[in-house]
Amino acid sequence: MEHEYHADGGKVKTAVITVSDRCSRGEREDQSGKAIVETVESKGWEVVSYIIIPDDKARIKEELLRLSDELGSQLIFTTGGTGLSPRDYTPEATLEVLEKEVPGMAEAMRSEGLNKTPHAMLSRAVCGIRGRALIINLPGSLKGVRESLEVVLPAIPHAIELLKGEVADP
């Protein structure tokens, strides 16, 4: 069972992908994806897509391509599939669509997470760009999503301006 949400208004065209077998089958509520949507909307950004899909590498890649290339999302958050479980393929799917990595964002999230739990070092999340879209892998847990968003949100507006070519040299 897949769910998608569209809205109008706001500045940054944002998409959210929850990657979870259980959530996609309706066996578990998607708290982390909903938290991302709430956070994005509280900043006045536009949520152009919110979708829940299974842990399937080809499907993750397909959605990242659709959201960046067809829908024109400027910011794509994924949540889930970044750990060590046999079906965690979000970083691999993301790497296959990225044109450039932005390792500092993933490093910052892991570094901050390590202040709270040693399990943060097990995250394989990646961040990067495809075209004019910034793609950020977030953890699958609600706590991990909230902590990671606190780290990356301050840098996102400037990153989007850079991707749009709107930052002039001094």
Chain segment 138-147, per-residue pLDDT in tens: 999 999 999 9
CATH number of the domain where residue 47 is located = 3.40.980.10
Would you tell me the crossing angle of helices 57-65 and 90-97 to the nearest 10 degrees? 40
Is position 170 within any domain? no
Helix/strand/coil for 30: coil
Read off the pTM.
Answer: 0.92
Tokens found for residue 132: 């004019």
Please tell me the distance from the alpha carbon of residue 75 to that of residue 12, in angstroms, as a whole number: 7
Q: Could you report the per-residue pLDDT of 157-166, keeping only the tens digit for each?
A: 999 999 988 7
Asked if 122 and 153 count as a contact pair (C-beta separation under 8 A), the reply is no
Domain membership of residue 27 as a residue range: 4-164
